[in-house]
Amino acid sequence: MRLDKTEISLGLIALGCVLFGFVSPGWLIFLLTIALAKALVVQGVVMQMRSGLVSFGQGLFYCIGGYTVGMGGQFFGIHDAVAALSLGMFVAIIIAMLLGLLLTRYREIFFAMLSLAFSMILFGILVKSQELGSTDGFNVHDWTLFGWAPEAGAGSQYTVFTMTVVSGLIVAVLIHRYTKAGIGVICEAVRENEVRVEYLGLSPRWLLYGNYVAAAAVSALGGGLTALATGHVDPEMAYWTTSGEFVFIALLGGLGHVAAPFIAAIVFSFVRTYAIEFVPHTWQMILGFTLLAVIIFLPKGLWSLVSREKTGERA
């Protein structure tokens, strides 16, 4: 297996993150864990955006991932983190395979609204489920990793952080390869002109279908990791504003590079947490202006800060 430069640097950064975790304070580790876990969901959004579909309901799979991990521990005795995360991805894949059959018939705003509707239906079901704590949700604790139980507090926090970084690395490398491969390039072609892709003898619909299912799995992984890190799940994960946040981060980063969602998620978390601290009454406004500024000045997302220099060099 040959690694290209991007993959090597991604690996180095991941290693750097894991080492950095040893010296950074707890709140920062937590912030980064949540940011990176959310970035995985954003990767799911971005994967679909590359082929021209914007999901306003990615919270559906985020929530499925989180609830599967929570319920696995609570009701089915699945305490191993890796098993629970895999189960979450599996459940998400099954549901995505079903919903995808319907959803891939839609484009543009109809896809966005229908994906939002499914997410809201899950939200409604969870609100109705009093055994699952309705809107209060329930706590996720007592998980292990291959039979080893990390000590409560800093130990388990660091473990989740490491798991998130490793998952992020694996997903990033896979997505990187996918976008570089022929099929990934066709995704962009589908976004540009679906009919021409069809004329080439390919089926855009099944491509979008595959994309949708893969994005669901990645998002569920992000949701599961979030559940492990916060120790709590609630139906808010499936609410449309949560999905809106993922789209927000996706645009903040841009589609330029596989690392963009991670950087965007971290920047977003910092902007939000400091906005809440310094202007507790108007932090949403700060987020709104940030988003507008990015759209106006960096139409291709934060990543264009990096790639702009690159094109300059080429010229």
Partner 1 sequence: MKNNKSKFSKHLVSGVAALALAAGAAGSASAAENGKFRVGIVTFLSGPAAGPFGVPSANAAKVLVEELNKGNLPAPYDKIGINGAEIEAVIIDEAGGATKQVEEYRNLVQRQKVDAVIGYVSSGDCLAIAPVAEELKTFTIAYDCGTPRLFADNPDAQYMFRTGLDASVDNIGAVRYLAATRPDVTRLAGIQQNYSWGQDSWADFTAAASALLPEAEIVEEQFPKIYQGQYGAEISALSVKRPEIVHSSFWGGDMEALVLQANARGLLEDATGLLTCGEASFATYKDQAPNGMIIGARGPFGQFAPDNELNTWFKGVYQNAYDIEPVYPATKMAQAILGLKYAAENAGVADKEIPSAEQLSAAMKGATFESVSGTVEMARGNGHQAMQGITYGEYHYEDGVASIKNAVSFDGECVTPPEGVAAADWIADGFPGAKCN
Partner 2 sequence: MTSLLAVLIDGSIYASWLFLVAAGLTVIYGVMRILNMAHGSFYAIGAYSAASLVGWYFNNGIGPAWVSYLMLVGAALVAGLIVGVIIERGLLRLMYGRDEILMVIITYALLLILEDGMKIVWGVSPYFAYQPYSELGRTSLGLLKVSNYDVALVGVSALLGLGLWAWLERTNQGKVLRAVIHDREIAVAMGVNVKLMFTITFVLGTTLGALAGALTAPAISVVPGIGIEVIVLAFAVVVIGGLGSIGGAAVGALLVGLSRAAAVHYAPEFELFVIYGVMSLVLAFRPEGLFGRTLARKI
296 binds, among partner 2, partner 1, none (CB under 5 to 8 A by kind): partner 2
Least distance (Å) between residue 137 CB and partner 2: 17
Contact criterion met (CB below 8 Å) for 59 and 246: yes
Contacts of 308 (CB under 8 A, 6+ apart): none
CB atoms within 10 A of CB 302: 20
Q: How far is the CB of 238 from partner 2 (least distance, A)?
A: 12
Closest CA to 37 of 221, 172, 215, 162: 221
Q: Of residues 16-55, which lie at the interface with partner 1 (CB under 8 A)?
A: 16-17, 20, 24-28, 30-31, 34
- Report the partner that residue 200 touches, choosing among partner 2, partner 1, none (CB closer than 5 to 8 A by kind): none
d(CA 279, CA 272): 10
| CA–CA dist 46, 173 (Å, integer) | 15
Q: Which two tokens stand for residue 221?
A: 């992984």
* Residue 292, contacted partner among partner 1, partner 2, none, CB below 5-8 A by kind: partner 2
d(CA 96, CA 221): 14
- Which residue is it, tokens 């906005």? 275
Residue 80 interacts, among partner 1, partner 2, none and using kind-specific CB cut-offs from 5 to 8 Å, with none
What is the identity of the amino acid at 25? P
Return phi, psi of residue 134, to 5°. 45, -135
User: CB-wise, 202 or 286, nearer to partner 1?
Assistant: 286
- Residue 189's SS3 state is helix
- Quick one: what does residue 102 bind among partner 2, partner 1, none, with the CB cut-off 5 to 8 Å set by partner type? partner 2
Assess 130 for contact with partner 1 (CB under 8 A).
Answer: yes
Site string for partner 1, 203-242 (x = CB under 8 A): -----------------------x---xxx-x-xx-x--x
Which regions of the chain does DSSP assign to beta strands (E)?
138-139, 232-233
- 108, 192, 198, 309: which one binds partner 1 (CB under 8 A): 309
What six digits make up the tokens of 171? 């997903």
Task: Report the partner that residue 112 touches, choosing among partner 2, partner 1, none (CB closer than 5 to 8 A by kind).
Answer: partner 2
Q: Binding of partner 1 at residue 286 (CB under 8 A)?
A: no
Closest C-alpha to 268, from 248, 243, 296: 248
- Nearest residue to 217 (alpha-carbon basis) of 43, 32, 10, 4: 43
Q: Which residues of the shown chain bind partner 2 in the complex (CB under 8 A)?
A: 54, 102, 105-106, 108-110, 112-114, 116-118, 120-121, 124, 127-128, 193-196, 240-241, 244, 247-248, 251, 281-285, 287-289, 291-292, 295-296, 299
Specify the stretch interacting with partner 1 by CB under 8 A; choose among 39-47, 80-88, 126-134, 196-204. Answer: 126-134
Q: Which residues contact 297 (CB under 8 A, 6 or more apart)?
A: none
Binding-site ranges for partner 1 (CB under 8 A): 4-6, 8-10, 12-13, 16-17, 20, 24-28, 30-31, 34, 127-128, 130, 133-139, 141, 152-153, 226, 230-232, 234, 236-237, 239, 242, 257, 259, 263, 266-267, 269-270, 273-274, 276-277, 280-281, 283-284, 306, 309-310, 313-314
